[in-house]
Amino acid sequence: MTPARRTLSAWHASYDPGAAKTILNNGRPCRVVFDDTFDRSVLRGGPLTGAYRLRQLHLHWGSSDLHGSEHVIDGVKYAAELHMVHWNPKHGNFAGALKQPDGVAVVGIFLKVGNTPKPEMKRILEEIENIKTKGKEAPFLHFDPSILFPKSRDYWTYHGSFTTPPCEECITWILLREPIEVSSDQMAKLRSLSKNDENEPPSPLVDNWRPPQPLKGRIVRASFK
């Protein structure tokens, strides 16, 4: 996509490490789940009105280091994309938020393969051995996901949908301009997960990303010039 240039205000995240609960392999993205029963870990500011509660984060990646991100910026694809999913509590619950245009906010972070991998990614990747097959879940406690943010808070934003069926049109996307780095070995560890359960032959969990879709009149705004 080619972003429109228009200045926006800064966004802020306040996350409680004690809200982290579990990590799981659901046969699609690898997911970390958080306690969202009250305003414990929230996202505010930027294009948002009010506080949005953090519910989960997950990753999308490709079968090689050359692709895997769900957004493409000026023709550039990244090895993976991390999504932090938040919902608007004014709608009562997550299911209710899915039905509202301002129901969900997702912070997207690109992962690129480089020589200085972000050490904070290690915590998630250490748990991969415990969730090798579909349906596996393991405790994942005392984790502050804000450590995964890049230094720059510059972002693009637009109103769009989930990238998995039924693709509800309820998301305010906050896509961070600066990627974080991972190593090729770390990407290989993600690709070592299986999309099948333990009673089936292993099948690599790869290419769990949706190709970019037409903008269809959506306006993409930038927080930077």
What pLDDT does residue 7 have?
66
User: Is it the case that residue 2 has pLDDT exceeding 70?
Assistant: no
Q: What is the CATH number of the domain that holds 158?
A: 3.10.200.10
Structural domain containing residue 118: 11-207+218-222
Is residue 142 in some structural domain? Answer: yes
Is residue 212 in some structural domain? Answer: no
Q: Is the separation of the CB atoms in 216 and 146 below 8 Å?
A: no
* Rounded-to-integer distance, Cα 100 and Cα 89, Å: 11
Q: Is the separation of the CB atoms in 171 and 97 below 8 Å?
A: no
What DSSP letter does each residue of 145-172 carry, written as one string? GGGGS-S---EEEEEE--SSTT--S-EE
Total number of domains in the chain: 1
Is residue 2 in some structural domain? Answer: no
Is residue 101 in some structural domain? Answer: yes
* pLDDT tens per residue across span 36-72: 999 999 999 999 999 999 999 999 999 999 999 999 9
* Rounded-to-integer distance, Cα 99 and Cα 168, Å: 7
pTM higher than 0.75: yes
Q: C-alpha angle 81/79/53, rounded to 5°?
A: 10
